[in-house]
A and B are shown apart, each in its own frame.
Chain A
Amino acid sequence: MIKRLTKNPIAMGMLGIILIIALLGIFAPFVAPHDPYEGNILNKFATFSWQYPLGTDNLGRCILSRLIYGIRPTLFLALITMIGTIGLGALMGVLAGYFKGPVDEVIMRIVDVMLSFPSQIMIFAVVALMGADVRNVILANIFIKWAWYARMIRCNVIKYRSRNFILYSRCIGTRETFILTRHLLPSIASELAVLATLDVGWAILNISTLSFLGLGVQAPIPEWGAMLSEAKNVMTTNPIQMIAPGVAIVVLIAAFNLLGDALRDVLDPKEMELS
């Protein structure tokens, strides 16, 4: 599967883009030309120059530096959200699918209830209740979104749990935890990877939207959604300011979505002929 993945140009290209962006974020202090918080009010709304490659914003801060530092909250918060959502979803899905019976019944009824509510509104409600804060935004996302993954993962588990290799393993008296971690998890790992990749794109979109509305990452921290919120206030005088963060969001989300699609194609060669 890894071999087929390396042969897929789209997957490798998107993985490259994401890796480059992640590395830029990790090494932000060495890459960024300026301090993202330090403003030079005399030099606000500067246009493109060698000193400020993307110009400066309404407080005279270097937009490129803010963009590079903004990778940290934007990408890494989304990754944390994804790990939380998929983790909780996988745990519940595996428990429900593997043990069946009452455990399955209880978990799936909760999932049904969660899925019958509008997720967007519930996230707003949870954030409203706990207060506008990054931590709360992540918790709200995890809390609302896990049910969807739990259902998908349960389906996958059920598909594998009666396969011969697992039945055989149980026959010879292997412990349940061993079957779960060594047989079942590797089997569903590839499907998990697709879900996880697509979820990151969704999380970036959601966190940046909440930040844009002022409910997530707060103002001076350079998050892309929050940067767009600042740019909105000076839209008439300096419209250029809102281009860079927006394009950055689109590129990052598109990269994750394309990677997810490519992964799915690699996993399931039949799909490729259809589309």
Chain B
Amino acid sequence: MKNYIAKRILTTIPLLLCITFICFVFINLIPSDPAEVALRIRQTPVITDEAIQAVRLELGLDDPFLLRYLNWLGDSLHFDFGVSYTNPSRTVLGEIARCLPATLQLAGASLLIVILLSLPIGFFCAVYKDSWFDRLVRGLVFMTTAMPAYWVGLLLIWLVSIRWNLLPTSGAGSWQHLVLPAFTVALTYISTYIRLIRNNMLENMKEDYVLYAQARGLRQGTILVKHVLKNSLQTCIVAIGMSIPQLIAGTIVVENVFAWPGLGKLCITSIFNRDYPVIQTYVLMIGTLFILFNLIFDIVQALADPRLRREAE
């Protein structure tokens, strides 16, 4: 087991290096000259060639590519991501830190909704397979895969906020602001997990241990909850864990529909303002999260499932 974990962690390191390298190349591909940008940030009135040369020396822009990458990597490890191009008085780290809580709040609420809704619905769909409830849910699940999240968001704003006047249309502040965006983010994941839980349970219900439990005369409810559901949940928990970074990244569209002041909105605003350091840091952050969560839940899965544990050994 230890070997497996060590191996898994070691394979993660080149991936992390890869994503940092891609992010670094990304900022080097931008059309503007970094020295010129630096001068503009310092509000130098006249940008001359000599000034640019001086800054190039000062920032080490004439160093070899690999050396600059290593320097940048060192800075990033100290959470020093530079300053925003559009607003030089703010550091990128500060901007991210300002927007992160709102996004985490939104992603957390969505995760809660996903778990609370998809678990019971998936369970009942499997238990009452081919009943009217199952058919209805399957229809809805199919519809949500074809519906763009932003359109669902618009419809919800119109129906709930404008027609019924129940919840605020956009912005942040109270829990009422959170309901609609969180539900919109959750929707696609709910349908994924309903399908996953339903199929897992249906597969498990065919297993021999269920037949044996029935033969022992256990009540159907006990068998379903204690045996079938428990065994089906394992893969679901791992899948949900791995989709947490996706959930955080997935808020990008919804935040713009609901004017939610989080990372997604910051990212889109930065794209329009060509504020490259912010975009770079955002991509770096989500990429790192993605890799780390994959690592953690791979290990969790291996620890939780005795069959995989034996295989790993």
* Chain A residues near B (Cβ < 8 Å): 113, 116-118, 120-122, 124-125, 127-129, 132, 201, 205, 208-209, 212-215, 225, 228, 231-232, 235-236, 239, 242, 246, 249-250, 253-254, 257
State whether A122 touches B283 (Cβ < 8 A): yes
Interface segment, B37-45, B82-90, B145-153? B145-153
A-B contact pairs, 28 of them (CB 8 A): A113-B15, A116-B294, A117-B19, A118-B249, A118-B287, A125-B26, A125-B283, A128-B271, A128-B279, A132-B271, A205-B148, A208-B148, A209-B149, A212-B150, A213-B268, A215-B268, A228-B150, A228-B154, A235-B154, A239-B158, A242-B158, A246-B147, A246-B154, A250-B146, A250-B148, A253-B145, A253-B147, A257-B142
User: Top 5 nearest A-B pairs by Cβ distance?
Assistant: A254-B146, A253-B146, A128-B271, A246-B151, A125-B283
A235 to B250, CA, bound (A): 23
Q: Which residues on B sit within 8 Å (CB–CB) of A122?
A: 283
B262 within 8 A of A: no
A214 to chain B: which residues have CB within 8 Å?
272
Pick the contact of B245 from A118, A132, A250 — CB < 8 Å?
A118
13 extra interchain contacts, Cβ-Cβ under 8 A, other than A121-B249, A121-B282, A129-B29? A116-B291, A117-B22, A118-B249, A125-B26, A125-B283, A129-B30, A132-B271, A208-B148, A209-B150, A212-B148, A214-B272, A228-B151, A249-B147
- A208's nearest neighbour on chain B, judged by CB, is B148
| Count of residues in B whose CB is under 8 Å from the partner chain | 43
Neighbouring B residues of A225 by C-beta, 8 Å: 148
Name which of B96-104, B120-128, B215-223, B252-260 contacts chain A: B252-260
Question: Using Cβ atoms and an 8 Å threshold, which residues of chain B touch A212?
Answer: 148, 150, 253
CB distance from B313 to the nearest CB of A (A): 24
Chain B min CB distance to A268 (Å): 17
Judge whether B91 is part of the interface by a CB distance below 8 angstroms.
no
